Structure 1
């Protein structure tokens, strides 16, 4: 057809001229690795494809809700790829693409990309007792990787045998508790993983000691009950303090000796008491004393031990 004839036909009011070919349809965006997540430092491939189209196709890749254009490329194919060579944590965003072969751009669905950070080398610590612990105590092993995207899975080892495991769904560390026995002395370590490799802590050695005897200041020995040789003494099995008249030294004064039946006075002191009478303040046990009190001897009967 002659060019002037084609111009005449397209200029007719009853006809409309459109570009020859098939417009793009069903634009789709896929990622590699699949699943919408990628490890920090790894490569992300954005694959834009169309179901149908003819001729050259212009592809566009966008990031973020505002649609920041990352790349524009013209290809004579139904598929085109754009690579981000080294993903950073800040690259976690929404991505989409568009395709156009002259009929207007068609957009794909939005794909959310999550950038996961590998776990760092964890640190293993013991509870309050540290690496010097006592048999029978409750021990807490705490393992923590300071870096890494959650969830993080932890395993605890004693001499390369798994003691137990724990997880941190929101990140941070995790603990494992157990009671110490003689078999628990030795080397410990832990491992951390969040789906991309495993990191192991340094080995820590735990030393166990036997349980120490009770503190004598907190648990004093029980005194041995002794038979009392004093006059008018109560049953030595009684534990209360007893007052006893001893002697009249001078004037109107009467002195009382206070003693506890759990204590025993030395024989020399007892002999002195029988011979010379009680002093005004007589000490029978280290912490018990008696004091003189004033009475009227006319109103009170007493027995003279002499």
Structure 2
């Protein structure tokens, strides 16, 4: 029977998307193990003493273990966790409201993304301007324009598509109100005179 079974992983430290990872099933048994199986969670994913994942992706993250079999029985190794790191992706901007605001007010933009580890920082830009106009996951836009965010972690960055913010002047609304009041006053005056 197998006395002990363990998994040795090639390399050490951080596993980044695109890397190659090799898992080696180490078995101490007499007679030597002849059959090895590999599992991710409860699903069998391979056979043989060595299990290789080339160009690893985030979908490969999970718990792995091997099963060693000889003529006297079988034994599983402890789980080994593969935690695959990757740069931000699916970066987008959510507008809190319609994106149309009155002069003097603001609209909140939120930067959403998927990454591992979670994004360390966010930068906000106005289209056709080179300097950032803000930072942080949320940004308050006070002026008209097209804005986008860029999400960063230590493995890379990605920018969102731009969203449009439109600022309507308060004076237009004031003129409409004053115009309505003045129009009513003129009509009332004409009726009184008539």
TM-score (norm 1): 0.42
- Does residue 6 of structure 2 align to residue 28 of structure 1? yes
2:122 corresponds to: 155
Q: Which residue of 2 aligns with 1:211?
A: 170
Aligned equivalent of 1:84: 53
Aligned-pair CA distance for 1:156: 3.5
What 5-or-longer segments of structure 2 have no aligned partner?
Answer: none
Shift of 1:163: 1.6
Quick check: 1:135 aligned with 2:94?
no
Structure 2 counterpart SS, 1:83: strand
Q: Deviations over 1:79-129 (max 9, x none)?
A: xx4212244666455421144677654421123545677543534465524
Q: 3-state SS of the aligned residue for 1:212? A: helix
1:30/1:192 Cα in 2 relative to 1: closer, same or farther (>3 Å)? farther
Q: Paired residues, what number? A: 183
Distance (Å, rounded) in 2 between the aligned partners of 1:199 and 1:186: 20
RMSD, matched Cα: 4.6
Give secondary structure in 2 for the equivalent of 1:161: coil
Change (3 A) 1:157 1:60: same
- Asked if 2 retains the 8 angstrom alpha-carbon contact of 1:152 and 1:193, the reply is no
Shift of 1:194: 6.4
Distance 1:187 1:150, change over 3 A: same
Q: Return the match for 2:36 from 60, 73, 76.
A: 60
- CA drift of 1:190 comes to 0.7
Report the secondary structure of 1:284's partner residue: helix
1:165 equivalent to 2:136? Answer: yes
Q: 2:45, 2:89 → 1: CA distance?
A: 34
Question: Higher Cα Rg: structure 1 or 2?
Answer: 1
C-alpha contact 2:85 2:117 (8 A) present in aligned 1: no
**Pair 176,212 (structure 1): closer, same or farther in 2 beyond 3 Å:** same
Q: Which residue in 1 is equivalent to 2:159?
A: 200
In the alignment, the residues of structure 2 paired with residue 206 and residue 129 of structure 1 have an alpha-carbon distance, to the nearest angstrom, of: 5
1:205–1:129 distance in 2 versus 1, CA, 3 Å: closer
Q: Post-superposition shift, 1:186?
A: 6.3
Superposition map of 1:287-302 within 5 A: none
Q: Answer 1 or 2: which has greater helix percent.
A: 2
For 2:72 and 2:183, the matched residues in 1 are separated by 101
Partner of 2:91: 122
Q: 1:107 to 1:189 in 2, by over 3 A?
A: same
CA drift of 1:33 comes to 6.9
Tell me the alpha carbon deviations over residues 24-56 of structure 1, each in whole angstroms, 9 at most, x when there is no partner. Answer: 6442224457689764x5533223335x67886
Partner residue of 1:43? Answer: 20
Give the match's secondary structure for 2:104.
coil
CA deviations over 1:246-287 (Å, ceiling 9, x no partner): xxxxxxxxxxxxxxxx95x9xxxxxxxxxxxxxxxxx5257x
Cα distance in 1 for partners of 2:55, 2:145 equals: 43
